[in-house]
Chains A and B, each alone.
Chain A
Amino acid sequence: MDTARAVEAVFRIESARIIAGVTRIVRDVGIAEEIAQDALVTALEQWPESGVPDRPGAWLMATAKHRAIDLVRRKETYARKLAEVGRTLEDEPPPAEPAEPDDIDDDLLRLIFTACHPVLATESRIALTLRLIGGLTTQEIARAFLASESTVAQRIVRAKRTLAKAAVPFEVPYGADRGARLSSVLEVIYLVFNEGYSATSGDDLVRPALCEDALRLARVLASLMPEEGEVHGLSALLEFQASRIATRTGPDGEPVLLADQNRARWNRLLIARGARAMSRAGSGPYSLQAAIAGCHAAAVRYEDTDWARIATLYGRLVQLTPSPVVELNRAVAVSMADGPAAALPLVDALAREPALNSYHLLPSVRGDLLERLGRPDEARAEFERAASLTRNEQERTLLLRRAAAL
């Protein structure tokens, strides 16, 4: 093991916590990230000479915090000089004591809530969270989201600037605001996972690395907020979904439908972890989705799937978060529990939803129902329409194949 790699490993493990600890002092995630990077550079210069210290994480944290406190003091001196000419600057004095581990946890949680602040556009929240908490490089984020590196870099810079300009407080909100802010955090993790789980564009159907990044974020959040049922619900949902990743694509990267997946290859450890998280879940939308995913995970064979229970859970989810996409999923579950004839009216009602106008899964589901009802000509037209709407190459191929088979 060469020292540089050891130093980088230590830094990767600690960087989110260091950035969080420094942000509490300097109140600016952009400056905090620079200071954390400076501490890494110092370590890379010193440790090969002096050896890796006994508690490398604490060393990096202390180094970064010293710089942060210096910076704040300089700013205060400057502010005092400004104040002498009649201006003031409100600044808390920096904490003198090194933080207790619990404080570090609190700081990390504050950092997560700051990076996911609703003042930022969704894509900025995602990029900033992956960068600051997930420890991904700009290049890795760009590759994951098929964006150019400069676009992502711009996005991160702008996000930091927005947070500074809006003077977003470095805190985990309590009271009325808490639910909404937590939703924003959960949504970011969910969206990262989803982009990895069913890529919205490009050639690959799945990008497992993104799923793993999201899972790691969910696991971190669940250990920082053990009292929040919805956090465990999201964690359970992602563990269950991730257990199937290896079986969702075939040898050529083509999608494999749930009915055809080799369940022997589902990851039992992740299913067990999902079940454990499920036992602490609440009754919110992520917990309901986790319960649905858990039903699939519990079915040893596709025929064993408890579709009636899944349809019921989707019914509850529709009440909680009314959405045509959820309603479409409910229709699929109803078609499995009570037959395609029972589900077709539900899908037809959705065809009038403007939100689903170009959603390829609507004609895809409708095609499937029509095929099962023995109406091949109409089914073929639906599959072809779905193929023209999807942005994923692998899905298009599958849909056209289904159309051609009729």
Chain B
Amino acid sequence: MPRFLTMIRINEQDLPPNEFPPEFEQRMGALLEEITKAGVMLDTAGLLPTSEATRLSWSGGKISYTDGPFTETKEVVGGYSLSQCKDKAEAIEWTRRFLEIHPAEWNVSAEVREIQEM
């Protein structure tokens, strides 16, 4: 059974309000419980904003550091899930359910990537 890393991308310049609608939290909790009960979810978490982040790059034989926030990037990874599904179609179906419980006026995207097993 392949594993998938699903990256949830958000636009930090266009963040949802700090106050989440209460039914959203509830729906999210119920869905996460369902994915866990299906034996699919291996690990999931949200990330602190990129203002807390540091980028390291290796180029020309040198390391350079850039502290966040990364305003030049429109979308940044705001969270991830690591799941194990029978195939990509199943991973996509769970991801669709995840996105669909968000309020209609929010912009969130998710990228489903299969993990290369060694």
A residues adjacent to B (C-beta < 8 A) = 1, 5-6, 8-10, 12-13, 54, 101, 105, 135, 209, 212-213, 215-220, 223-224, 246, 265, 269, 273
Q: Which label, helix, strand, loop or mixed, suits the secondary structure of the A interface? A: helix
- Which residues from chain A contact B87 at a C-beta distance below 8 Å? 9
**Segment at the A interface, from B12-20, B36-44, B50-58:** B36-44
Chain A residue at minimal CB-CB distance from B86: A12
Chain B neighbourhood of A10, CB < 8 A: 93
Do residues B90 and A9 form an inter-chain contact, with CB atoms below 8 A?
yes
| Residue in contact with A13 in the complex, picked from B33, B43, B82, B93, CB distance below 8 Å | B93
Please determine whether B84 and A223 come into contact, CB atoms closer than 8 angstroms. no
Set of chain B residues within 8 Å of A269, measured between Cβ atoms: 42-43, 82
- CB proximity of B5 to chain A, nearest CB, Å: 12
Question: Is B94 on the interface with A (CB-CB < 8 A)?
Answer: yes
A-B CB contacts (within 8 Å), total count: 52
- For residue A248, give the distance in angstroms from its CB to the closest CB of chain B: 14
Binding site for A on B (CB under 8 A): 1, 30, 33-34, 36-40, 42-43, 82, 84, 86-87, 89-90, 92-94, 100, 117-118
Within the complex, the shortest CB–CB distance from A43 to chain B, in Å, comes to 13
B93 touches A9 (CB 8 A): yes
- A54 — which chain B residues lie within 8 A by C-beta? 100
Could you name 8 residue pairs across A and B whose Cβ atoms are closer than 8 Å?
Answer: A1-B92, A9-B87, A9-B90, A10-B93, A212-B84, A224-B37, A246-B117, A265-B118
* A224 vs B1: C-alpha distance when bound (angstroms): 22
B35 to chain A, nearest CB (A): 10
With a cutoff of 8 Å between Cβ atoms, the chain A residues found around residue B89 in the complex are: 1, 5-6, 8-9
Q: Which residues of A contact B30 (CB under 8 A)?
A: 101
| A223 to B37 CA separation, bound complex (whole angstroms) | 5
Enumerate the 3 nearest inter-chain pairs by beta-carbon distance, A residue then B residue, closest first: A219-B39, A9-B89, A216-B39
- Docked-complex contact A6 and B93, CB < 8 angstroms: yes
Sample of 20 more A-B contacts, CB < 8 Å, known A9-B92, A105-B37: A1-B92, A5-B89, A6-B92, A8-B89, A9-B87, A9-B90, A12-B86, A12-B90, A13-B38, A13-B93, A13-B94, A54-B100, A101-B30, A135-B86, A212-B84, A213-B1, A216-B39, A218-B39, A219-B39, A265-B118
Do residues B92 and A217 form an inter-chain contact, with CB atoms below 8 A? no
A265 to B37, CA, bound (A): 28
Hey, which chain B residues are within 8 Å of A101, CB to CB? 30, 34
> Chain A residues with Cβ under 8 A from B1's Cβ?
209, 212-213, 216
